[in-house]
Chain A
Amino acid sequence: MDLRKHEIEVLKALGELEKSGSRGIAEESGLKEEAVLSAIVKLTKNDLVEVNERLITRYKVGEEGERFLKEGLPEEEILKYSLDGKNKISELNKKLGKNKVKVGLGWLKRKSLADVEKGEIKPNEKAEKWMNKDKKIKKILRAIKKGYNTKKDLKKEFNGIEEGINELKNRSNSIIEEEIVKKRFKINKRGKNVLRDLKEEDTITDLKPSHLKDGSWEKKKFINYDIEAEAKPKYPGKRHPYQRLLDKVRRIFRDMGFQEIKGNTVESSFWNFDALFQPQDHPAREMQDTLYLKKPDSSKLPKEKLVEKTKSMHEKGNEINSKGWGGTWDKKLAEKPVLRTHTTATTIRYLYKNPDPPQKVFSIDRAYRRETIDATHLPQFYQVEGIVSDKEVDFENLLGFLSEFYERMGFEEIRFRPGYFPYTEPSVEPEVYVEDLEEWVELGGAGIFRKEVTKPVNVNNPVLAWGLGIGRLAMLKLGLSDLRELYRSDIKWLREVPICP
C-alpha cells in the first residue's frame, strides 16, 4: 500500500484521537481541512478508516430573529410604549406598523401580560416584571450566533430548550432549522496495524540530520509525496515591468555610445519653449495645454547675452537669414515656470553648456501635459530622447540612427514620413510595423534642430534629435489596454506578470 505524506499524517492524527470530525483531524495534524478530506477518501478506500454518518439539527438566525436582537420582540416594543401610558392601538399602529402591533398583541395575550379594552392596551401587573427580564428566546438567538448552533450544543447551554425553540419556530423567519449530515471518522484495526508498522521507523517523511549522521536513511523507505498536489505560489521581489522596459532603452542608448543626461521637472518657459524657437503665442503654450506654476511663480533667465540672442531670433531671425516670428518677444513670458512639457528642454540646456561637437547624449525622464486622465492619456509620461551633434551629420544619418535604434528595440520594419515640430527642419515621423496590431504605429518624432534653435546656444553644426513617447510602447509590450494600469501597481498583476513577457 502506497500512502502519501498527508494520508499518513491523517492516519497518525486519528491514531491519537481515535474518533473525530474533519476539523478535529485538521487541528491535530496541522493540515488544511480540504487536505484532510482528500486523504480520508484514500484511507477509506483502502479500508483503514471507517466513516460514521449522523443527522444533526442545526439552527441559523433568520432575518426576523436578527431584528429581535436589534430592536426587541414586537410585544416588548408595544409594552415599552404602553407602560409609558401611550397605549392607543391606533397610535401604535402609526409608530410601529400595523403588522408588528398585531403580532405583538397576539403574544401579549398568549403570555397573558396585557388585555385590550376599547382600542387601548392595558398591561397587567406581570408586565413590568416581564419587561425587565432577559428573554429566553433572545438568549437562544445570541447563543446560536456565537456558534452554539446544534441542538446538542444548545441543550448543554439551556434548560428546557425545546420550549424556546418551539416559540421561535412559531415566530416566522426568526430561526432557520436545517438537517445536516455530520461525518465522523474512526481508525479501524487495519489502520492501527498500518500505524504500528509506520512506528517501527522504517519510513522517512522528512529527512532529518540524524538520518544522515548515522546513515539510517539507507534502510528506510521514503514516503511518497503527491507530486500533483498544489504548492503554495511564491513570488519574487521584482522590478516594475515598465522600469524594466525603460532600462532596456537605456541599455540600447548606452550600447550605441550615448551618455545619459538629466534635467529638472520644473523648468522655465525659456528653456522649455523659447530656446526651442516655439513662438510665444503658440497654442501649446496656452494654459489649456501646459501646466504652469503658482509656486515658484518666476524663474531666473540665463545670461543676458543668450536672452538677447533668443529675443532677436524670435523677432527677426537676423544673422542666419531667417524671418523669425515677428512681433515682440516678451521676457516676462519666458520667465514663467512650467512642468517641462518635453525633455527637449533638458537637451537644449545641455547643448548650451556643451556646444562643441561631437556630442551623443540621451535622456529618459517624465514630461507633463495638461491632459484629462483616460485610458490613453495621463498628465505625465516618460519620454525618451536622443541627440547627435557633429560637424558633418545629415538627414540620412538621422534616419540611420533611427533605424538602428528601433531595430534594437525589436522592430523589424521601419518607415519614415514627413513630420512637423516647431524646432526641427527637416522633420520626420518614424513608424514601426507592429505584428500584433497588423498596422504601422507612429512612435515619436525626429528631425534636425533648426538653426533658429542652435545658433543662439552657439552650436554651429547640425544636431540630429529624436524623441519617443514610451507609454504607447509599454502598453504594446505588456499587453495593456489602459495606460493607467502602469501607475496603479495592482500587486496581483505585478506578482504575476512574467519578467520575460
Chain B
Amino acid sequence: MAEGGTNLPIVKLDKTRLEQEVGEDIDLILEKIPMIGADIERINPKEVDIEFFPNRPDLFNDIGVSRALKGFLDIEKGAPVYNTETSNHGLEVTKDVQPVRPEIVGAVVKDLKLSEKDIESLVELQEHLHWGLGRDRKKVSIGLHDLKDINFPFKYTAVEPSSTEFTPLGFNEEMDLSEILKKHEKGKKYGKILKEKSRYPILKDKDDKILSFPPIINGVTTEVDEKTSNIFIDVTGTDRDSIEDALNILVTSLSDIGGKIYDLQIHGVYNRKTPELDHKTYNVDIKDIKELLGFKATKDEIKDSLKKMRFGAEINGENVKVNVPPYRADILHPHDIIEDVAIGYGYQNLKPRKPNIPGVGSSHDIEETGKQLREIMTGLGYLEVMTLTLTNEKNEYINLNREIKESVEIENPITEEHTILRNTLLPSLLEILKLNQHRELPQRIFEYGEVIHPTKEFAKDCYHLSGISIHSNANFSEMKSVINAIFREINIDYELSKSDDKSFIKGRRAEIKHKNKKIGIFGEIHPKVLQNHDLVHPAAGFEIEANKLTNEINN
C-alpha cells in the first residue's frame, strides 16, 4: 500500500481569497482541509500549499476548493446546478485529424469579469489538469481563448507541418508547425506527443485564423487577459471521458466566478453538443453503505453527509438517490460515493472496532530459518549488517575476481551504481568492510537476505547466509570452524570438496556439499579481491545457499 506517482499536484491557495470565497476564518479552513482528503504541505504568510489527491481534479484550484469547503462547513450544501444556454456556436471536426488526436469538446463562457487572481487561478487549474487528467497533455490538453477577434464556425483539422504558419504565444513572429516544435519551449517539451505523425492538429476560425496547435500552444490572437469577458474553451485528446471531465471542471469553475455557459455544436466526423452538465444519478442501497462502513448512522445523517460533500441526496425507501455534479471525475463505482458518506460524516466520528476473526499466527519458513541462522551467527560473535540488493557488475563480479554472469538487469537505472540485482551476498559484505577500514579489528559481520537469480523463464528470490571475518590472523581454518559450527547447530550433514571460485585463494577454498549438491562455499579471500576493496588485512568468508536447506531446518 503506497501512493504512486511522485509529483502530486501542489495547489497554491491565497489565504485572503479563500476566506472571502468560503466566508470562514482561515484557521478553521486549515483545520478542516485535511479531513476532506488533502495534505497541507506548508503554510506561508499569504498562501498555503496543499497536496490534493490525484482522483479529485476538481480540487486543483481555489475555486473548486471553496466549493467543497462551503459544503463541508455547512455553508452551502447539496449539488450545485449548472445551466447551459443554447447557442449557434459551431465547430467542424474533419477526418484528417482522427488518426492524430481524434477527440474534441468545447464550450463558451460569457460575461466574465476576470481579476488578475482569477487568471492565475485558471492557469494553475489548466496546468494541474494537463498533468492529472491529461497525463502531461498526452490524453487531454486545454486551450482558453478570448472570443473578441475570432468568429464562428471553427474547424478542428489536421495539416502538413510546413503548410501552416502562425504566431504562437510567447513569440512575435510567425512560424510553421515544425519550427514551433523545434524552437518553442512548449514545442520542445510536448513535441514527443506528435512523434511519427505526418500531419498535426490545428484549430482555426471561420477566416482561417489559428486559435491553437493542440496539444502544444495557442496562437497570440486569442490570448486571455483581464480585459477578456468572453472565453472559448477547447479540450482535445485521445479519451472522450477525460476531455469531458476536464471541460466540465473548467466551465463549472468559470461559472462559479460569475460566467454564463453557452454550448458548442460539434459536427463532422461525429455530432455532439458540449458541455454536458447534467447530474448523473446513482441509486445507492443504504444497506450497502452501512455494511461497507459498519457505522450506525441514520438515513438523515447519511443524506446530510452526502449533501456536505456537494452531492444531491434524497432518501427513497431503502435507497438513497444521489445526484453527482458534473465536475466529479472520480466516481467510478457506488463505493466512491460511500467513501464520501464517511468523509462527510467525519472519519473522527467513526468508531474503530476490532472483530474476532480466527487465525493462527505464523511466520514464513524463510524467516524461521533466518531466526535460527541469525542466532547461531550472533552467538559466534558476528554482527549483522543490512545491505542493498541493487548493485552493479563491477561490485558484484569484477571486484570479486569472478566471471560476469547473467543477472536481473534494470532497464532504466537511476545511477550507474545500481544497474543489476545481486546474485550473491559476499560482495555486499566486502563493500561494508571497505566502508569500515578505519574501525577496530577484528571485524566479523554477516547477512541473511535475498539474492535474485535469473531463471530460464523469469527470476526468483533465493535466501543466502554469508559471513566474513577480517583481522591479522583470519584464515581458512577459522572459517572452517564457523562452517562446522553452523552445520552442527542446524543438524545437517555436509561434505567438503575442492572449489575453483576465484574470489578465494587457490588451495584455501572449499565447496560445501549436501547430498552431493553444492550448497555453499568458503575460504580465504583472494588478495586481489582484498585489494579491490582497499583492505590491508587477511580475511576469510563463506556463503551458504540457505533456501536449499529451509525444509530440513524447519522439520
Contact = CB atoms under 8 A, between A and B. Distances in A.
A366 B333 CA distance: 32
A281 interface: yes
A240 B383 CA distance: 7
Interface string A446-465: 11101110000000001001
Contact of A419 (B37, B338, B389): B37
Contact of A237 (B295, B377, B409): B377
Q: Is the interface of A mostly helix, strand, loop or mixed?
A: mixed
B384 A425 contact: no
A293 B408 contact: yes
A339 B432 CA distance: 24
Contacts of A450: 333, 335
B161 interface: no
B377 A358 contact: no
A491 B445 contact: yes
Q: Is the interface of B mostly helix, strand, loop or mixed?
A: loop
A289 B389 contact: no
A294 to B, nearest CB: 4
B351 A278 contact: no
B34 A378 contact: no
Interface range for A: 35 or more
B35 interface: yes
A283 B1 contact: no
B507 interface: no
A342 B415 CA distance: 21
Nearest to B431: A489
Interface in B423-453: 432, 435-436, 439-440, 443-445, 450, 452
Interface stretch (A32-40, A89-97, A217-225, A314-322): A314-322
B458 interface: yes
Nearest to B340: A426
Contact of A358 (B7, B358, B440, B445): B358
Interface stretch (B119-127, B167-175, B248-256, B362-370): B362-370
A404 B135 CA distance: 39
A321 B354 contact: no
A397 B360 contact: no
Contacts of A491: 383, 432, 436, 439, 443, 445
Contacts of A403: 352, 354
A239 B384 contact: yes
A326 B293 contact: no
Interface string A219-245: 000000000000000011111101100
A326 B379 CA distance: 59
A29 interface: no
A487 B388 contact: yes
B10 interface: no
Contact of A240 (B351, B386, B421, B440): B386
Given A256-B361, A291-B410, A323-B333, A239 B378 contact: yes
A320 B387 contact: no
Contacts of B293: 394-396, 426
A177 B415 CA distance: 55
A237 B139 CA distance: 57
Contacts, number: 312
A446 B378 CA distance: 36
Interface in B333-363: 333-336, 338-339, 342-343, 347-348, 350-355, 357-363
Contact of B35 (A254, A260, A418, A445): A418
B537 interface: no
B28 interface: no
Interface in B363-404: 363-364, 366-367, 374, 377-390
Nearest to A250: B363
A147 interface: no
Given A283-B135, A396-B351, A291 B412 contact: yes
Contacts of A320: 333
B4 A278 contact: yes
B257 interface: no
A148 interface: no
B383 A238 contact: yes
B361 to A, nearest CB: 4
A344 interface: yes
Among B2, B406, B439, max chain A CB count under 10 A is at B2
Contacts of B385: 240, 489, 494
Contact of A258 (B5, B335, B361, B414): B361
A262 B389 contact: no
A491 B407 CA distance: 29
Nearest to A386: B1
Interface stretch (A101-109, A161-169, A198-206, A367-375): A367-375
B68 to A, nearest CB: 12
A293 B294 contact: no
A38 to B, nearest CB: 23
Contacts of B460: 264, 266
B361 A257 contact: yes
B55 interface: yes
Given A390-B357, A404-B354, A295 B3 contact: no
Interface of B: 1-7, 34-37, 39, 53-56, 135, 138-139, 238-242, 291-295, 331-336, 338-339, 342-343, 347-348, 350-355, 357-364, 366-367, 374, 377-390, 406-415, 418, 421, 432, 435-436, 439-440, 443-445, 450, 452, 454, 457-461
13 contacts: A240-B384, A243-B374, A257-B358, A264-B460, A283-B7, A292-B412, A293-B408, A295-B408, A323-B333, A392-B355, A420-B56, A489-B387, A494-B384
Q: For the complex of A and B, list the 7 residue pairs with the smallest distance between their C-beta atoms, beginning with the closest.
A: A284-B4, A467-B1, A394-B294, A400-B354, A254-B361, A257-B359, A420-B53
